Amino acid sequence: MREHARHRLSRRGLLAGAAAAAFAIRPRPGLGAEEPRLNFYNWDTYIGETTLADFRTASGISVKMDLFADSDELFAKLREGNPGYDVIVPTNDYVERMIAVDMLQPLDHSLIPNRANLQDAFADAAFDPGRRHTMPYMWGTLGIGYRKSKVDGVPDSWKWLFDSDRYAGRCALLSDASTVLGAAIKYLGHPLNSRDPAIIRQAEELLTGQKRHIRTFAPDNGQDLLLSGEVDITMEWNGDILQVMDEDPDLSYVVPREGSIIWQDCLAIPVGAPHPLNAHAFINYILDARVGADIADFIRYATPNAAAKALLPADYTENPGIFPPDATLTRCEPAIYQGPEVVRLYDEAWTRIQAA
């Protein structure tokens, strides 16, 4: 889902230097018992190019970053106990699950003064009331990536993927049950997090009917299919498409007018983290304005950090792929964890769709 974007060495170098200078952690008395290490479990290419090195310069803590490929992996890995991670980056609906099973440590807000930099809308979250367990990291949308020269106008409706043979054999969907079914439910005009089996059934029928026109259910590599010309229109996460748009100006991204899924990745400290104080220091560092701007500029995802956003140029802040217009955003909803019965309904529907 997450990839870094273009290389713009000149300015990033400046930003990094400025960030390192602007920020310095002073050891607080009585807290210095931890070894200067930190294990960070993150998505690939989802951090600034020099962020970890700068943090080490600023704080003396060396960060070791490991990568996971999807939230399910993160959850499965932590399920039987924390193997030693200090900071993890779960997505909103997994934050809910993790809080529900006490996988996350409550944060000590007094150690994260930089949370004042957050945009008001992100200061609290329905999935983590009072932000007791998480701080927002980046957010984004699900939408449609397409090749401009091969589609008619702007395909700003899920219809082209779910209910049309216009792009038969040239379109792809993602391969995640709740994402695809959720988008189909949005297209049918229902709320994203519908628990009603009849609605899920309706979405299943829609997809089963559409299946013969779909080239493949792409395991999160729709952007590659698009770039290599394998398909002309695909369901994907915005950051993925933004990245290939840099390489091929014929590609574009749109959030469908029916609305879509909006997601938020968060920074959290799992229970059993060996270095919780370092983890707090790291989270606070990430929320610094300069540091946040540096990261957002490099990975090209939407930052929830108002102070960081203010430091960035218009080609970032006014990019509709990163920050969709408000009118679109109001029709987007976050995925909410619905409990095991509903997850099972989605999974069985998905198995049937693929087997049909």
344 near other proteins (CB under 8 A) = yes
Of 194-202, 225-233, 262-270, 288-296, the window that binds other proteins (rule: CB under 8 A) is 225-233
Map the footprint of other proteins across residues 273-302, applying CB under 8 A: 274
57 near other proteins (CB under 8 A) = no
Characterize the bridge pairing of strands 262-268 and 134-147: antiparallel
Q: What is the largest CA-CA distance in the chain?
A: 67
Which of 31, 108, 129, 228 is close enough to bind other proteins by CB under 8 A? 228
x/- map, 58-77, other proteins, by CB under 8 A:
------xxxxxxx-xx-xxx
Map the footprint of other proteins across residues 134-153, applying CB under 8 A: none
Distance CA 80, CA 355 (A): 32
| Shortest distance in whole angstroms from residue 171 CB to other proteins | 11
| Shortest distance in whole angstroms from residue 156 CB to other proteins | 24
Distance CA 355, CA 99 (A): 34
Characterize the bridge pairing of strands 233-237 and 87-88: unpaired
Polymer length in residues for the chain: 356
247 near other proteins (CB under 8 A) = yes
Distance CA 222, CA 350 (A): 19
111 near other proteins (CB under 8 A) = no
Of 35-43, 185-193, 282-290, 319-327, the window that binds other proteins (rule: CB under 8 A) is 35-43
340 near other proteins (CB under 8 A) = yes
Query: Quick one: 228 or 330, whose CB is closer to other proteins?
Result: 228
Query: Quick one: 16 or 180, whose CB is closer to other proteins?
Result: 180
| Shortest distance in whole angstroms from residue 202 CB to other proteins | 19
Nearest to 305 by CA among 297, 259, 104, 242: 297
Query: Quick one: 80 or 315, whose CB is closer to other proteins?
Result: 80
| Shortest distance in whole angstroms from residue 20 CB to other proteins | 20
Distance CA 239, CA 236 (A): 9
Residue 243 token pair: 């990245």
Query: Quick one: 62 or 317, whose CB is closer to other proteins?
Result: 62
Number of residues that bind other proteins (CB under 8 A): 64
Which of 81, 209, 313, 320 is close enough to bind other proteins by CB under 8 A? 81
Map the footprint of other proteins across residues 160-199, applying CB under 8 A: 169, 175-178
Which of 211, 250, 310, 320 is close enough to bind other proteins by CB under 8 A? 211
Which of 34, 163, 205, 230 is close enough to bind other proteins by CB under 8 A? 230
Residue 62 has a CB neighbour count (10 Å cut-off) of 14
Binding site for other proteins (CB under 8 A): 1-3, 39, 41, 43-45, 64-70, 72-73, 75-77, 79-81, 83-85, 97, 100-101, 169, 175-178, 211, 214-217, 219-221, 223-224, 227-230, 240, 244, 247, 274, 340, 343-344, 346-348, 350-352, 354-356
